[in-house]
Structure 1
């Protein structure tokens, strides 16, 4: 296993653990009792070398854990400018993109993917292999067992789509015209009575990049997308 790589300007506070195979980007912080780069919690792992890569200026607060990937040569990745609050957990083979906030005791199971700028509230859980789209807001104690499309607001156990993350979009600098376009896409997908394939086909024809991004996300979904009021029968929550 390769030695840890600690870049310029990193801060590692007392009683933190930075294990072999870890790369800390410039300006990142690892706070007290955080664990970065420990072995994956995967019974199939046979001790093969793997990595954790933490991006630039990312902050891992107290008792955060980020485990190495479980496949030979693979990577658990947390992007730039992320904030993982107290007790957050990123399991093996996850990918957390830039600018994500994971609030206290939020947990990602293995192979989960979180899109850029998403906000995962306290005690939220994301099932293994699930995806949370860009600029999603996942509510407190939500349990996501299916994919959450980009720009949506999702809450509950099992997590359902409650609307568009208007506050998050506004904070990200998305203008009012584009927000309305995304809200129209939400209505097509969740309020129109169309089937998911019908809604996806209509969204693919949009002139708005972000709406086509939603359509691509649906197209690439392996677990199906989370349900919402007025959504299609095929969108029932998965049994787990």
Structure 2
């Protein structure tokens, strides 16, 4: 399972049935879970913690030091969850003193040439398409989809079940359950198709749409819209997820679309 042309430190910990192809390099202080496949020409630096049954394709570089001038060589990690696929030439940088760790969740797909910078938190079942560039301290919640060649500004948050159009410049937070498109990035509706595929009932999708009518299709500011939502719309898990996301946003959220 370990090609003799690979280079693996004696201080790396590999689980059962790990496969490593030729010309890959695995450094000390690396842990790789059972059943993971490492393709050829992969470099895994100290601080990587890779889960079970992952697939890492040729040219990927995992746990390189951050591209951050404030980084002083402190110990930090990259954590990758079980059953995540990392395609060709993806780069994932270690954390800094701020959060110590860059985290990728379970069952994610990072397509070719994606870059994940230091201290990012990518939750479970996220799909990031080809050539997306993710700056430091970004959070992407469960089931989000990021279209190819998008660029995500540092400290941005992208909500669960949201969909960002390819080629987007993401400078503001993207609330959950939405589609984001156009330039500047703005609300393009609820991600209804994605929600139906994941088992959301029509009634729930309609309730989410009504919340966003208050937020994006009225002339109210966000504070007024949130007040009206809590007064007039019944409390649901999805409503509260949206309200809490908007209230906790530090960068501000994308705007509604105005023709």
Short-chain TM bin = over 0.9
Decide which of 166, 180, 186 is 1:154's aligned counterpart. 180
Which residue matches 2:210? 184
Q: Is the 8 A contact 1:95 1:114 kept in 2?
A: yes
Superposition map of 1:64-143 within 5 A: 64-71=90-97, 74-143=100-169
* Structure with bigger gyration radius: 2
The DSSP-based 3-state class of the residue aligned with 1:213 is helix
**Length-normalised TM-score, structure 2:** 0.86
Distance in 2 between the 1:2 and 1:195 partners? 52
Secondary structure at the counterpart of residue 128 of structure 1: coil
Residue correspondences, number: 230
Distance in 1 separating the partners of 2:58 and 2:130: 15
- 1:32 corresponds, among 58, 66, 77, to 58
The answer for unaligned runs of 5 or more in structure 1 is 231-240
Moved over 6 A (4+): none
Deviation of 1:73 (Å):
6.8
Q: How much does 1:199 deviate?
A: 1.1
CA spacing shift, 1:60–1:227, aligned 2, 3 Å: same
Aligned to 2:226: 200
Deviation at 1:171, TM superposition (A): 1.3
* 2:21 corresponds to 1:21: no
RMSD: 1.4
Show CA shifts across 1:121-144 (max 9, x none): 101111000000001100010111
Taking the aligned partners of 2:98 and 2:227, their CA distance within structure 1 comes to: 38
Aligned residue for 1:223?
Answer: 251
Question: Following the alignment from structure 1 to structure 2, what is the Cα–Cα distance between the partners of residues 177 and 156?
Answer: 28
Task: Provide the C-alpha distance between the structure 2 equivalents of 1:20 and 1:73, rounded to a whole number of angstroms.
Answer: 17
| 1:234 match | none
2:13 paired residue number: none
Give 1:201 shift. Answer: 2.1
2:98 and 2:119 in contact (8 A); partners too: no
What SS does the corresponding residue of 2:95 show, helix, strand or coil?
coil
In structure 1, distance between residues paired with 2:207 and 2:183:
28
Deviates more, 1:64-73 or 1:217-226: 64-73
Cα distance in structure 1, aligned partners of 2:162 and 2:244: 16
TM-score between both structures, scaled by the size of structure 1 = 0.92
**Bigger shift: 151-160 or 12-21?**
151-160
Whether the aligned pair in 2 keeps the contact of 1:49 and 1:73 (CA below 8 Å) is no
